């Protein structure tokens, strides 16, 4: 995979460290050379060498200056390394001789070295950056570009740090008089570091990058819930972020350019163990018990990992009955994935070893659904990016009110609202209500031409077929059912359908009626603008202006002119007619020189919008198996540069998502605009002109029936050569066309724009916002024990309280039962046995997976000492055999928890 241009944490850390080392080495060498000596730098450098270099610079005469950028970089490197050390320090809380003790010592040593270097450099004069003058800025830009290129080339080179040492080493210095050439230092100086420390830093940086993306996407989905952005935009941003996550994971040390590291390997490296006890999820890291809701668990996406572990167990259970009753998590999303598993498993069996590239027999799937499909196919380790993407969905669940089917409802609602047949009936109703019989008749003629042979219903059927896919899936295993469970997949399908409308003509064969008729769009756009320039059309046609504006991204779609002849010439240039071929004789102008084919005429047209082009490129990226990332990122950076109005390179993933979202909000209406239906309407208007003016057409074009391009060319040149205010029989066709356009611009000139704006960022009405329909988190969720709780992602505390309350209630009743039996003059041992049996029955009635483990009566203190243990069953014993006894994680000698109850007088 190609190197990512994202400025992720590990890349910034390594580039920052390299910058400090490079500056220290170059400055110390210059100072040494001034005294007539040459410094021999070892490779790789040691931390002792760094301190020695800093001392040489600090003691130099005359006094040196340190750029403020170097001090800022040192601060940033220290801060990043310190945060990493703090994270691994938490994993050593209960064991000072644990797995990460040497790693943490190495982190602390390097931090102390950097702090000492910083102290030495702060004693020098600080050199402020030069910000005045165009030359400096340009030179700086060129230098930064050079370094950026070097950084991209060496983006994951090693940084080596040595183990702590108490002694400083003296740098060997060679006199120039000896005549010996010193060893040339490497272009990028390196430091010594053990592989364990390097891996630890890389893992922490990767999860920090993923957490920043997750936090941003949480805010994106919150904006969707509040109605600030559309479902379509939220899905597109999430899918783009999924691509970023894949690149961030690909840079994980030490397997750069090697096999991908799975989350299972990360869990082994960090010593992560999880189990489901009667109190919910139990998390154990490096022999340290950690709360399942802790910052470490949140950083490492533990909840998503347990959800995917449960999904993997579900897959295994379909092949091996011994896994059938095992649960790794009780999160509601686990049940969602279990419902999807039979469909995904069937899809995997149909595909066998074929590469999907996002297209499963005519059914397009997003990256996370593709991950689930690969899990069903491979049944192996869980990839890191799959866990991260799953966590994104878990984080976004509150925006869906905890109801995964909302995405499918959005999809269906959008399709029903944009139904061609429904819109056609709406137009018919508008015709009836217009109150102008002449206008109504003209509108009916236009509608009849647009709906020849039931065109609208055929388009609805074709779109529905495109939604379902072409492969004959069984009714109970149809991929379409996945849309009811996976909201992101529903959004991805919606994007695919919408973009298909915008770009269909660029993928459909020439002359395919299902594609956007760009000839009709281009011709009508020039005719409208030409008529409006001479006041034949008084009102602005909002729908057509939207089409024209969508093309201004990469050049003019319709070039304005100061005369009708100018519009005619510009149209000819747009369809590929050379300027030298313009007819000089007015009688010859209706003919097109060379009679180019439709493909040649359309060769200069662009897709409908920048947003649509980017989205289509993203679909092509998925279809190609996630190859061609350079072009994908180049598109995003180009858009970021356009939005920021300044050169933009090496943004963080969150910064790039910010600019992408801004671009979506600017272009989203163009993506939702129905170019296909509007092009059919333009074609109907032009066809109606040919039908209504047969005599003029014959006089202008002869016996030949012109196509739309030839018709537009002829009408424009006729208008340029004929006085517009001539007698009625000689009025040019442009004036007669304007008579038809005028009522359309007045009565229905923004109908397509209105539909496109519906549900689009900035146009979402109060009633359409999810916050008006659903309560955040969907109200209360039901946990594994049937109790209601607010947050579907945090079960530990709810289950602790729930189980403790019911268990204590049974144990208090057990003490009362023991007191009751005392009145019957029964020996103590028999009373204990009877009470114990009674308590175990009460546990069964309370549906608690507990039994009495020990029970004794302390006569001296009049207390009953009771311990409980989990109720064992074959499935639980199997889980303990596979994953270990979860109760051992608490450090107990025996499973269970003790409770003392004092006898009441």
Q: pLDDT tens, 284-305?
A: 777 677 776 678 888 999 989 9
Is 332 part of any domain? no
Q: What is the mean pLDDT of residues 490-503?
A: 70
Domain count, the chain: 3
Domain boundary among 747, 773, 805: 747
Is 677 part of any domain? yes
Q: Can you give the pLDDT at residue 655?
A: 87
Residues 716 and 800 in one domain: no
Residue reference for tokens 């040593």 = 109
Q: Can you give the pLDDT at residue 528?
A: 94
- Residue pair 678/752 in contact (Cβ under 8 Å)? The answer is yes
Residues 45 and 165 in one domain: yes
- Rounded Cα gap, residues 875 and 877, in angstroms: 5
- Of the listed ranges 65-69, 507-511, 865-869, the least confidently predicted one is 507-511
pLDDT at 383 over 70: yes
How many C-beta atoms surround the C-beta of residue 97 within 10 A?
A: 7
Is 198 part of any domain? no
pLDDT at 690 over 70: yes
pLDDT at 671 over 60: yes
Q: Can you give the pLDDT at residue 896?
A: 36
Structure-token pair, residue 415 = 């399709």
Structure-token pair, residue 632 = 């994908």
Structure confidence at residue 478 as a pLDDT band (50, 70, 90): confident
**pLDDT digit string, tens, across residues 345-359:** 998 888 877 766 677
- Residue pair 787/875 in contact (Cβ under 8 Å)? The answer is no
Residues 136 and 48 in one domain: yes
Residues 585 and 731 in one domain: yes
Is 13 part of any domain? yes
Q: What is the mean pLDDT of residues 478-501?
A: 81
Residues 833 and 740 in one domain: no
pLDDT at 542 over 70: yes
pLDDT at 484 over 80: yes
Q: Can you give the pLDDT at residue 499?
A: 64
Residues 37 and 160 in one domain: yes
Is 771 part of any domain? no
Structure confidence at residue 369 as a pLDDT band (50, 70, 90): very high
Kindly report the CA angle at 588 between 587 and 593, in degrees rounded to 5? 170
- Residue pair 306/292 in contact (Cβ under 8 Å)? The answer is no
Is 717 part of any domain? yes
Q: Can you give the pLDDT at residue 780?
A: 46
Structure confidence at residue 368 as a pLDDT band (50, 70, 90): very high
Residues 16 and 90 in one domain: yes
- Rounded Cα gap, residues 842 and 506, in angstroms: 71
SS3 674: coil
Q: Can you give the pLDDT at residue 373?
A: 92
Domain boundary among 136, 158, 193: 193
Mean pLDDT of the residues in the chain: 73
Closest CA to 757 of 441, 546, 607, 586: 546
Q: What is the mean pLDDT of residues 792-821?
A: 67
pLDDT at 597 over 70: no
**pLDDT digit string, tens, across residues 161-207:** 233 333 323 344 444 445 444 444 445 566 667 788 888 888 999 99
Better-scored residue on pLDDT, 234 or 191: 234
Q: Can you give the pLDDT at residue 210?
A: 94
Residues 533 and 678 in one domain: yes
pLDDT at 521 over 60: yes
Is 738 part of any domain? yes
Q: Can you give the pLDDT at residue 161?
A: 29
Residues 67 and 159 in one domain: yes
How far CA 187 is from CA of 111, 439, 607, 698, in Å, comes to: 24, 78, 46, 77
Domain boundary among 747, 768, 784: 747
Q: Can you give the pLDDT at residue 445?
A: 66
Structure confidence at residue 592 as a pLDDT band (50, 70, 90): low
Q: What is the mean pLDDT of residues 423-444?
A: 67
Is 406 part of any domain? no
Q: Can you give the pLDDT at residue 386?
A: 95
Supply the range of the domain harboring residue 71.
Answer: 9-171+186-193
Residues 799 and 863 in one domain: yes
- Rounded Cα gap, residues 165 and 553, in angstroms: 60
Q: What is the mean pLDDT of residues 89-103?
A: 70
pTM of the model: 0.70
């Amino acid at each position: 995979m190609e190197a990512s241009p994202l400025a992720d944490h590990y890349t910034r850390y390594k580039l920052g460290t390299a910058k400090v080392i490079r500056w220290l080495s170059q400055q110390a060498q210059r100072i040494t050379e001034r005294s007539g000596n040459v410094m021999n730098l070892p490779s790789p450098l040691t931390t002792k060498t760094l301190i020695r270099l800093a001392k040489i610079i600090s003691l130099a005469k005359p006094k040196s200056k340190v750029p403020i950028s170097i001090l800022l970089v040192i601060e940033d490197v220290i801060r990043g390394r310190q945060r990493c050390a703090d994270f691994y320090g938490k994993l050593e809380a209960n064991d000072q001789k644990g797995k990460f003790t040497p790693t943490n010592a190495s982190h602390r040593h390097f931090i102390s070295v950097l702090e000492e270097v910083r102290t030495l450099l702060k004693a020098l004069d600080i050199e402020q950056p030069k910000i005045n003058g165009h030359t400096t800025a340009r030179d700086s830009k060129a230098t930064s570009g050079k370094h950026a290129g070097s950084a991209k080339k060496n983006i994951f080179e090693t940084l080596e740090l040595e183990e702590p040492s108490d002694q400083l080493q003296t740098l060997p210095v060679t006199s120039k008089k000896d005549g010996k050439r010193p060893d040339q230092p490497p272009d990028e100086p390196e430091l010594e570091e053990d592989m364990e420390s390097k891996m630890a830093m890389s893992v922490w940086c990767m999860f920090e990058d993923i957490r920043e993306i997750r936090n941003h996407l949480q805010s994106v989905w919150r904006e969707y819930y509040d109605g600030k952005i559309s479902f379509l935009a939220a899905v597109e941003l999430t899918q783009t972020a999924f691509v970023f996550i894949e690149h961030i994971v690909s840079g994980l040390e030490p397997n750069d350019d090697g096999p991908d590291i799975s989350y299972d390997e990360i869990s082994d490296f960090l010593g992560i163990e999880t189990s489901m006890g009667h109190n919910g999820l139990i998390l154990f890291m490096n022999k340290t018990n950690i709360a399942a809701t802790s910052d470490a668990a949140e950083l490492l996406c533990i909840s998503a990992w347990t959800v995917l572990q449960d999904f993997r167990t579900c897959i295994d259970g379909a092949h091996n009955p011994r896994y059938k009753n095992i649960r790794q998590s009780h999160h509601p999303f686990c049940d969602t994935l279990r419902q999807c598993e039979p469909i995904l498993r069937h899809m995997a069996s149909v595909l066998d070893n074929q590469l999907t590239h996002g297209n499963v027999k005519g059914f397009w799937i997003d990256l996370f659904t593709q991950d689930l499909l690969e899990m069903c196919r491979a049944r192996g380790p869980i990839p890191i990016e799959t866990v991260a993407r799953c966590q994104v969905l878990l984080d976004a669940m509150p925006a869906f009110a905890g109801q995964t089917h909302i995405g499918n409802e959005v999809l269906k609602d959008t399709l029903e609202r944009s139904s061609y047949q429904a819109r056609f009936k709406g137009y018919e109703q508008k015709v009836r209500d217009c109150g102008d019989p002449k206008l109504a008749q003209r509108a009916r003629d236009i509608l009849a031409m647009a709906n020849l042979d039931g065109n609208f219903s055929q388009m609805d059927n074709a779109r529905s077929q495109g939604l379902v896919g072409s492969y004959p899936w069984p009714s109970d295993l149809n991929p379409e059912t996945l849309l009811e469970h996976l909201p992101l997949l529903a959004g991805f399908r919606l994007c695919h359908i919408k973009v298909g409308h915008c770009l269909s003509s660029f993928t459909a064969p020439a002359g395919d009626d299902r594609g956007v008729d760009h000839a009709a769009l281009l011709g009508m756009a020039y005719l409208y603008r030409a008529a409006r320039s001479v006041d034949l059309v008084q009102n602005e046609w909002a729908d057509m202006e939207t089409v024209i504006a969508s093309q201004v991204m990469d050049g003019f779609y319709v070039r304005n002119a100061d005369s009708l002849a100018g519009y005619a010439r510009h149209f000819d240039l747009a369809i590929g007619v050379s300027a030298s071929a313009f007819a000089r004789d007015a009688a010859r102008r209706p003919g097109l020189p060379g009679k180019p084919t439709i493909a040649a005429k359309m060769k200069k047209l662009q897709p409908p919008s920048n947003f649509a082009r980017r989205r289509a490129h993203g679909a092509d990226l998925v279809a190609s198996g996630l190859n061609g990332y350079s072009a994908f990122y180049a598109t995003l950076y180009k858009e970021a540069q356009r939005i920021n109005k300044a050169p933009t390179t090496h943004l963080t993933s969150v910064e790039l998502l910010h600019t992408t979202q801004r671009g979506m909000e600017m272009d989203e209406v163009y993506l939702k605009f129905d170019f296909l239906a509007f092009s059919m309407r333009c074609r109907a208007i032009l066809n109606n002109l040919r039908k209504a003016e047969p005599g003029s057409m014959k006089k202008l074009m002869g016996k030949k029936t012109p196509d739309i391009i030839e018709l537009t060319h002829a009408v424009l040149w006729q208008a340029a050569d004929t006085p517009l205010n001539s007698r009625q029989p000689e009025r040019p066709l442009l004036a007669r066309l304007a008579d038809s356009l005028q009522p359309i611009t007045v009565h229905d000139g923004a109908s397509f724009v209105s539909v496109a704006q519906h549900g689009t960022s900035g146009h979402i009405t109060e009633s359409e916002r999810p916050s008006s329909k659903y309560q955040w988190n969907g109200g209360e969720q039901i946990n594994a024990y049937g109790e209601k709780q607010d947050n579907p992602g945090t079960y530990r505390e709810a289950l602790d309280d729930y189980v403790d309350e019911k268990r204590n209630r049974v144990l208090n009743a057990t003490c009362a039962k023991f007191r009751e039996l005392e009145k019957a003059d029964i020996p103590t041992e028999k009373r204990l046995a009877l009470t114990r049996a009674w308590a175990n029955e009460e546990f069964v009635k309370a549906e608690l997976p507990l039994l009495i483990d020990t029970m004794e009566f302390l006569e001296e203190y009049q207390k009953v000492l009771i311990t409980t243990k989990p109720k064992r069953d074959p499935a639980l014993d199997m889980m303990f055999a596979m994953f270990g006894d979860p109760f051992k994680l608490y450090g107990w000698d025996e499973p269970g928890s003790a409770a003392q109850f004092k006898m009441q007088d």
